[in-house]
Amino acid sequence: MFWKRTIPSIIVAAVGVIMLLSWFIPHAPFDELEIHATQWYDIIASFAMILGALNLLKLQGRKVVKRQKGWVYSLAAVLAFFMTLTFGFMIKGGFYPNLESPGDNPEAVYVYIAEATNNDLEDTRSIYSDPDEKGEQILLHKAVVSKKAAKKAIGELEALGATVSLGELQWGSHVQGQKTYYRWIFYSFFTPLSATMFALLAFFVASASYRAFKIRNAEATVLLVSGILIMLGRVPLGAYLTAWTQKIAWLSWLHLPTIQEWLYQYPNAAGARAIMIGIGLGIVGTSLRIILGIEKSFMGGD
C-alpha cells in the first residue's frame, strides 16, 4: 500500500508544488520548468500511444481470432494499422524529378512542368527564370509517389534537353509530403471516412437541437429565439429578408446579421467566459485535492 499509494502521492504533490512555484519565481531553474515538463509530457504520451496501439491490436485481434460479432471491422482496423505503420516507417515514396538546368529549350521544359503540375505557365516560367528561386519547388510540391514514375518524368524532361536528377523526400518530411504513401492513405481513406462520420453526426445534432429547443420554460424560449436568430443571421437568406432595414437608419439594428453578431459578441462571449471561469476554478480545486492527497482516483482508487 505504501508503494502503491503513499509514494505516488508524494511524487505528485512535490511536482505539483514545484510547478506552481515556477509561475512565481522567474529565475533558474524554475523559469525553464514548463519547457522541461512539456518534454516529459511528450515522452510519456509517446509511450502511452504505444501502449494504446498494442491494446488496440490485442482487443481487435482477439475479436478476429474468435470470430466474434463484427470481427470483419476489427480485421479492417488491424490491416489499416499495419498498412499505415508500414508507409510511415518503412516505405515512404516521395520521389520527384529535380530540375538542375532547363537546357537549350527552356520553353518546352516550362510547358511540360506547367502541365505536369497543373500550374500556370507564366508562374512556372518566372520561378525557374529567377536565379534567387529554387526551381525544384513546383516539382517538389507535386512529388510523385514511386521511383518508377519519377524516372519516367526524368526521361521525358531529358528528352526535351533538360538536366534532371532524381530527388527524394527525407524521412520525417515524407509525412507532410504532398504525394507520399502516408499522405495518400490519410487523404484517400481517413479524410473521406471522417467527413462521412461528421455528415452522419449532423442528423444527431438536428435531433438534439429539436429536443433542446422545445419550449418548456422561459430559458428554453430564450435559447430557441437566440438559436433561430443566429442561424438566420449566418445565412444569406437572413440578410436578404431584412435587407430593407438598411434603408431606414433607425431600423438598421433589425438587420439579422447585425443581431446575430451582437448575440455572438456579447451574450455568447459573456456566457463562454463565465463557463471558462468555472472551469478554471474547477481545475484549481481538483489540483489542490490532488496535491494535498485528498483525490486519489488518478491512481485507481475510489
Q: What is the pTM of this model?
A: 0.57
69-77 contacts at long range (C-beta below 8 A, 24 or more positions apart): none
Q: What is the pLDDT of residue 170?
A: 78
pLDDT in tens, 45-65: 889 889 999 998 999 999 999
Q: What is the pLDDT of residue 1?
A: 67
DSSP state of 214: S
**Looking at the DSSP assignment, which residues form a beta bridge with residue 121?**
none
- Which of 112, 262, 92, 97 has the alpha carbon at shortest distance from 172? 92
Beta strands in 48-205, from DSSP E residues, in sequence order? 95-101, 163-168
How high does pLDDT run on average in the chain?
Answer: 82
Percent of the chain with pLDDT over 90: 11
For Cα atoms 287, 275, 225, give the angle at the middle one, nearest 5 degrees: 160
Q: What pairing do the DSSP bridges indicate for beta strands 163-168 and 95-101?
A: antiparallel
pLDDT in tens, 111-138: 888 888 777 888 777 777 665 555 455 6
Burial letters 237-260, b for 16+ CB under 10 A, else e: ebbeebeebeeeeeeeeebbbbbb
All residues at 6 or more sequence positions from 2 whose CB lies less than 8 Å from its CB, including other chains:
none
Give the three cell numbers for residue 82: 499495419
C-alpha 83: how far from chain center? 21
pLDDT band with cut points at 50, 70 and 90 for residue 275: very high
CA–CA separation, 285 vs 290, rounded Å?
Answer: 9
